[in-house]
Structure 1
């Protein structure tokens, strides 16, 4: 997104080169949109997925240019959206932009970033040996795989039927149709895994272990909207309880009038960052402890066809929900024994496969990626206290160990959750990309 926004940056000419470091074979789709599985659907409708905030129909128009089949109920496949992003990036890489910027793709991984002593430049070291001297470095790292769900005994991590990252290349392909499967988590990742297993013809029993027993809510009908009530009822509220009470009160009023609750919540989307920022850290921590999981399943919803598929698997007895928390995983021959604890009572389940569906690792103090480690060890990258991402200023510049904003290092996307909490979906990411491109553009003329 940032690459594309830089290419469309007004002004110039900019006598500057932009280097994209991306180890995947196709730049653009990233992790979320690379899987070649048409059953994995976007959980946002097509009209809201343009890469350009000022061109809301851009993605829809692109679909017409490739003569794509109509997306069922306007929920396209992630694979198709990956093609869209790849097409945008390929166009940028093909020739210099009208503003003079030149773009280069390095099919490699960044393993180290060293900031110069004066703090005005940095050198990025690539795994293949090349070095990229840079005036600005943007960490657009996306999401990292989840941590092992249990410990301290990690013998199960090397077991052939443990799947710690369902998004890894070839994941789940060694699951036979009749094999028993246990999923840890019941969010959107678990839904995708169930759809993938079903598409592969899997008929064996699937147990879903969930702490709260909730599936993602289903999207409502298209075209519904509701006016924002942030300024009227939420502005200035500094506690989770006050915000929750106000939102519940408004939903009770609207449902009594026959208005669906979903657009009422969605009306607050532009203001979620301001609501989050108004809470002191103690209140933010309270929200994470008590409400974050409930918010996640209400806010990040599932397409109706996905919901129907999951309900069908539950009704057929193929999938069952098990309330509790996974405490241990122990190899037992070809199988895995899983200890599930609910209200202090442990129960052992035996299954052939275990798949971790708990979502990405957000805590940058525990990420072992060598690029992250190099910046963290140097005090240039500071994880936030709530373990949500990286400490930054208002423009996405990294704050160092002394709280000083970097002139060189920037980030966007999930790493900025400490500032916004909601920082993972396309509407938020594209706006961050526009803002960061404009901020960087103010310094490009000098280089």
Structure 2
């Protein structure tokens, strides 16, 4: 029986175990052990139970755990009698999407015994994966488990950053989710400062409004950029901006540069009848923020131009490969515009945009850009020094740095793998992985056949490491690779597994 360790039990793990069940268990029984110490098994932090106002940022049709069945989540909604959330123009509550992930994992668990396979969950924190005699062991503070034939690391992302070192200060909320709990003690008249102005900040504003918050709210950030507004889904089969075309250019030239990607994108936009001037205007960010929000909302509601919607959907399919193949000089250039890129490529639902606009127009919500410092005031409250100084009662973290840090749970795992030469840190963060298989790259520059990584831990190798279509597609590739490796080992007649004891980490 093949033994697989999955480190992390969020939505990425759901995609992995479902894909493994599809590709591998027909020929080889599998024992899957999922290590997840947290309370939100299969849901992760983002999709845990919360208020109805905390919405997914895409419709349900883009939330399938199965890359081979795009409507799996939609069909579950319909089976539950939740037809109103299954439509392509509706953004379901995020907790409801979390219920779908629980269902998808439960479906896999129930189906495995028929193939002689099984899945168990270990509510323990993995501190290290250790290689010994061509097998892997999972180790915690005072325990070890194994041996395993393969391991997939998908430990999830870090909490919001604390650039102003406010942790521990009275009135500071560092972990906002679930918002139903973190905002419960915020007085209705309190002056609230939200550090950040991206999608998490939007969630916080929506949750405050749902609680009939009366006090002023300030979005505090260095750039003062809001997420773009998501337009209607478009059906588009790309001809230019595709993985095979990117691979062909990289093979022909020996590298892929940004001008190549832009040329392919222009050709794709031209075929779709999009106005490239609209794209250029959005990238330039010349209009005032609130006016830009109003224009983008109008464009999304009226469905006036397919450009951004088509481009975003196309990048879901090939964006990770484009980034991986891109030369490092151009990656640096793109990363310099990180906030702009995140704003445009990670848009918010129109219903949230409309609410934000209303709050801006009433004066309850304001932007506080060019922030320089946030300091606690003696007694209670905070002084925000920015383009306009603000005094607030409560500060809520909602920011993510351009160079992401590893999640607290992932950091010791990566340290242990690096110390054994089984992984190499990526200069942009995370670990190096093979583009097509998601295998970890070892110190020798070889893709390790027994170790794979998925999600936030790969945030240097890839630019976008989130979004269910991306995660499901990578999980499917991982499952195919494990299947191919297993079949190769079986044909080669590898000796049967012997009794083993967990090895120790190198000093």
TM-score > 0.5 by shorter chain = yes
The structure with the largest helix share of the pair is: 2
Deviation at 1:26, TM superposition (A): 4.7
State the SS of the aligned residue for 2:479: helix
Cα contact 1:163–1:354 (8 A) shared by 2? yes
Shift of 1:379: 4.2
Map Cα deviations across residues 333-358 of structure 1 (whole Å, 9 max, x no partner). Answer: 21122333x5xxxx643211112211
Structure 2 distance, partners of 1:337, 1:379, is: 47
Post-superposition offset of 1:265: 1.4
1:353/1:368 CA distance change after superposition, 3 Å: farther
Matched, 1:157 2:199: no
**Secondary structure of residue in 2 paired with 1:43:** coil
Instruction: Check whether the contact 2:37–2:123 (CA below 8 A) recurs between aligned residues.
Output: yes
Distance 1:215 1:35 in 2: 25
1:205 aligned to 216, 223, 227, which one?
216
Distance 1:226 1:444 in 2: 34
Distance 1:368 1:222 in 2: 35
Which whole-Å CA distance do the structure 2 matches of 1:89 and 1:408 have between them? 23
Aligned counterpart, 2:288? none
1:113 counterpart residue number: 129
Distance change >3 Å, CA 393–CA 145, structure 1 → 2: same
Post-superposition shift, 1:115? Answer: 2.0
Aligned residues: 434
Contact 2:228 2:343 in 1 (8 A): yes
How far off its partner does 1:64 sit? 1.5
In 1, are the aligned partners of 2:137 and 2:144 still within 8 Å (CA)?
no
The answer to whether the aligner puts 1:61 opposite 2:64 as a matched pair is no
Is the contact made by 2:440 and 2:447 (CA closer than 8 Å) also made in structure 1?
A: yes
Alignment map for 1:298-447 (pairs within 5 Å): 298-340=344-386, 348-359=389-400, 362-364=404-406, 369-387=411-429, 389-394=430-435, 395-444=437-486, 446=490
Q: Give the match for residue 494 of structure 2.
A: none
Secondary structure of 1:157's aligned partner: coil
Distance 1:365 1:78 in 2: 22
Shift of the alpha carbon at 1:184?
Answer: 1.6
State the 1:97 CA deviation.
4.3
Q: Quote the Cα distance in structure 1 between the aligned partners of 2:407 and 2:82.
A: 43
For residue 4 of structure 1, the aligned residue among 18, 21, 25 is: 18
Change (3 A) 1:246 1:51: closer
Do the aligned residues in 2 keep the contact of 1:149 with 1:356 (CA within 8 Å)? no
Q: 2:323 aligns with which of 273, 276, 297?
A: 276
Q: 2: CA distance between counterparts of 1:92 and 1:260? A: 37
Q: Which moved more, 1:120-129 or 1:233-242?
A: 233-242
Q: What residue is the counterpart of 1:195 in the other structure?
A: 206
Distance 1:127 1:177, change over 3 A: farther
- Please say if residues 7 and 99 of structure 1, whose CA atoms lie closer than 8 Å, have aligned partners that are also in contact: no
Q: 1:196 to 1:368 in 2, by over 3 A?
A: same
* Contact 1:364 1:383 (8 Å CA) reproduced: no
RMSD over aligned Cα, in angstroms? 3.0
What is the distance in 2 between the residues matched to 1:264 and 1:204?
Answer: 39
Equivalent pair of 2:189/2:214 in contact (CA under 8 Å): yes
- The corresponding residue for 2:102 is 86
Unaligned runs of 5+ in 2: 1-14, 251-255, 278-303, 491-496, 498-507
SS of the residue 1:329 aligns to: strand
Picking from 175, 198, 204, the partner of 2:186 is 175
TM-score (norm 2): 0.77
Structure 1 residues 250-259 or 12-21, which shifts more? Answer: 250-259
- Aligned counterpart, 1:51: 65
Distance 1:262 1:225, change over 3 A: farther
User: C-alpha separation between the residues in 2 aligned to 1:26 and 1:36?
Assistant: 12
Please state whether the residue corresponding to 2:318 is helix, strand or coil: helix
d(CA) in 2 for partners of 1:125 and 1:256? 52
Query: Could you tell me whether the CA contact under 8 Å between 2:421 and 2:443 is conserved in 1?
Result: yes
Question: Cα 1:372–1:203, aligned 2, differ >3 Å: closer, same or farther?
Answer: farther
Question: Cα offset for 1:255?
Answer: 2.3
Structure 1 match to 2:119 = 103
